[in-house]
Every structure is written in structure tokens, then in C-alpha cells.
Amino acid sequence: MPFADDLPVPVGAWAYPAAELLLARAEQLALMTEEPSRITRRAFTPTMREVQEQVAAWMHAAGMSVRRDNIGNLIGVYPASTPNAPTLLIGSHLDTVRDAGKYDGPLGVLAGLACVEQLTASGQHLPFNLEVIAFVDEEGLRFHTAYLGSEAVSGDFKPDYLHLTDDEGITLADAIRAFGGNPDRIAQDRRDPATLLGYCELHIEQGPVLEQASIPVGVVTAIAGQTRMAISFRGKAGHAGTVPMQLRRDALCGAAEFILAVEAYTRESPDMVATVGRINAYPDVSNVIPAEVTISLDVRHKDNSHRQRVCKMLLERAQHICITRHLTLDWRIVHENPATPCDPALSGILGAAVQQAGYPLLHLPSGAGHDAVAMARITPICLLFVRCAGGISHHPDEAVQVGDVAAALDVLHHFVHLLANQLSLGTEQ
Ligand code: HGY
Ligand code: MN
Ligand code: MN
């Protein structure tokens, strides 16, 4: 889809071909999917392995040393000009949602790779190691969590996670083992904050703000907090033809009433979003009254206490529905993270890079979650958004323009050089 007002800003001569190459690579990765007619790439699968092998080959060719950590994140290292230098991480994730777009995740990994390729081409090394990190699980499609890869790196991976099972009953521990990782050593994946300069993520915006402002890139201020829950309503199965309506304990009707209550409440609540994206009914048979229904609930807001208040209010609503319908309720939080501000100093350098590259500086918040949320617990983070066609994401129509990707690569290039200058000045003092 063409954008109306492309800004006539020249980008570095290398950036357009680099952006074209990046988009061709994104097309190539999109072919590596578990489902032939759509992009679906769960963590720890042979398909993830295939994608990692391709990205690892590009990393090798760019002059990086490549390794996998114990959970299975892929990491390419472009060494610093001096020994014992700190490390800047650039990355994002390679897993997807079901029936995904091509850019949510891969764009950030491929941008890091392009940044290193540009350095290699000009024979430059920086006063810091540049590591491109491709997280193995961010979306949580397989184990219904979020950030498993980046939480291993931030040291927030909880050993209990290893007992989580996927829809086939495979435990996370077994999935990691089958992928070639080592679930017993995930604690060792934690990076020492003292060795890190920061984490920079480039990501498709997944919203309409940049498009409406006719600007190719934007600097993120903060990432909204989120709570993900698994909620089960339990009633009693019965014959669809014989149990009178007044005597039923229909779990699906209880869940349906709750889902509509969530929608009605959040429509009235500014900036609040809540989504029921999964629904599982048992026994899932057309002539049996549903006995048990489990739904997901994803609640997000920029204000932590407001999000928590709303979650509590929704719990009370679910309890009330269950009392009136003679159901029982199981309410479980599967993931929670607070709103995460980006680091002002690192974001300041990113903003300076945007301006140095010749673009207007626009700041915006992120409603979507990113690996940067986990990384912020151990190192300063910054996030650069790239304009997204129609604001569409988590959908196969997700699209970016080559000129915008070139702009983003140009900004990233300026960013690493500004950081290098700052570090050199700091060490000279
Ligand atoms: O769910 C999210 O916000 C992200 O796309 N993982
Ligand atoms: Mn996503
Ligand atoms: Mn993403």
C-alpha cells in the first residue's frame, strides 16, 4: 500500500540497497513456516531451527561469530576495536503469532544484521561489541506466555516455566532439549549488566501514529504494561436435547457473558485494551452442554495501578457471573509485566540519530509488548518504530515501505556511531 506523503529525505547511499536486501530476506524467512498457507513459527520447532540456521549463515558471512544460548536464542557477535569492551545488543524475535505478518520481530533482527554488514563493508569496528540477538520466543504462541527468550537473558526466567505444556502436552523443558538447548542451564543465559551498554530494538510500529504523521520512524517513550490470564469456567455437561434451559450449568454461556462484559467495560475506559483471543470448550461436541471453557484474557494500559484495578474488577465480575450461573471459576495469571519506560539517555541518542539522519523527531508510546520489556531489567533500552501500512499487524497484511526501512537503517547507523563517539569521549576524559 503506497504512503501518501513520503518525505524527500536523502538516506545514505548504502541504505536503500540494504533495505531492499532486508525486505528480500524477510520474504525468504516468511517461507519458513509450520503452516504452508500462512506464517506460523512457534518457538523451539524445526521451523524455528531452519530460520535460525539461515540467519546464522548471514551472520557468519557478515563477519560475526555465532552461538546459541541455553534456551536457544541466536546471538551473533561483531567484535569491538579493543579487547574488554562493553556490548551493545541489537535485536528482536524470530517467532510469530499464528497467521502472522512478515516483519513483527524479523525486521529488528535483520536490521541489526544490516548494521553489522555496513560496518564490515567499511572495515570499521566500534569501541563496543555489537551483538545481534534473535530471541527464540517472544509472542508466547506455543506455551501461552511471553518473552521466554529475553527473560532468560534478563535472568527472569522462572524454573517453573519448564513444566508448562504446549497443546500437544510437550513440556517446555522437552521442547528446549529437542531444539538443542539445555533447560538445566538457562540461569547461565543471564547477561551481566556490567558488561552491557544497552539494548536497541527496531520494530514495525503496529499502529497508525507514524502513518498519520507522515513520518517514517519514531522513538518510543514507554511500553504499556500487560497482564495475561487463563480463566476457566466450569459447569456440568448434559444432553443438548433433554436438559431444560433453567437447569443448565453451561460453562460456555458463562464465558460468553464474561467476554461481552470485558468488551463493554473496556470500551468505556480510555486507553484500556482487553482481548480474549483463545477459547477452548470441553467436550467440544455440538450435542453436549459445554462443561468447561478456558479463555485467555490480555489486559493492557500505560498505568500499572489502573490495569491492576481493572483486572480485579473483571475478576469480581467473573465471580458474580459464576455465582448466578452455578459455575466455578479458576483465574490464573500467566504473565504480567509493568509499563516499561525507555531509557532517557539512550533514547536521547536515538532521537539525535533521527535528527542527524534528517528526519523529524516524533516520540510515541508502544501499546504492543517487546523483548525490550525484559531487557530493561538489566540494561538501558531504546526502541525505534518504523511506519506500518494502515497500522496493521499480527495479520498477513502487515507491510512496510522500502524507503522507511532505509530511513530506519540510516538512523541505526547514526545511532551506533553517536554511541561510539560518546564512549570514546568518555574513555578519553
Ligand atoms: O503481544 C504483543 O504485544 C507482542 O506482539 N508480543
Ligand atoms: Mn507480535
Ligand atoms: Mn514483535
What is the structure's pLDDT at 270?
87
Q: Nearest residue CA, atom 1 of ligand 1?
A: 369
What is the structure's pLDDT at 10?
56
Q: What number does CATH give the domain 226-337?
A: 3.30.70.360
Facing residues of 133 across strands?
75, 91
Ligand that comes closest to the CA of residue 139: 1
What is the Å distance from ligand 2's center to 78 Cα? 27
What is the structure's pLDDT at 299?
98
Q: Where in the chain is the domain with CATH 3.40.630.10?
A: 4-224+339-428
What is the structure's pLDDT at 5?
43
Q: Which of 97, 145, 297, 340 to mutate to test the pocket of ligand 1 (most atoms within 8 A of CB)?
A: 97
The tens place of each residue's pLDDT in the chain, 429 residues long, gives 333 344 445 567 889 999 999 999 999 999 999 999 999 999 999 999 999 999 999 999 999 999 999 999 999 999 999 999 999 999 999 999 999 999 999 999 999 999 999 999 999 999 999 999 999 999 999 999 999 999 999 999 999 999 999 999 999 999 999 999 999 999 999 999 999 999 999 999 999 999 999 999 999 999 999 999 999 999 999 999 999 999 999 999 999 999 999 999 999 988 899 999 999 999 999 999 999 999 999 999 999 999 999 999 999 999 999 999 999 999 999 999 999 999 999 999 999 999 999 999 999 999 999 999 999 999 999 999 999 999 999 999 999 999 999 999 999 999 999 999 998 876 554
β 279-282/292-301 pair status: antiparallel
Whole-angstrom CA distances from 360 to 215, 345, 357 are 7, 19, 9
What is the structure's pLDDT at 425?
72
Q: Where in the chain is the domain with CATH 3.30.70.360?
A: 226-337
Atom of ligand 1 nearest to the CA of 93: 6
Domain 4-224+339-428 = CATH 3.40.630.10: yes
Ligand 1 environment, Cβ below 6 A: 138-139, 368-369
Of the candidates 249, 206, 132, 229, the one whose C-alpha atom is nearest the C-alpha of residue 367 is 206
**CA gap 317, 264 in Å, rounded:** 12
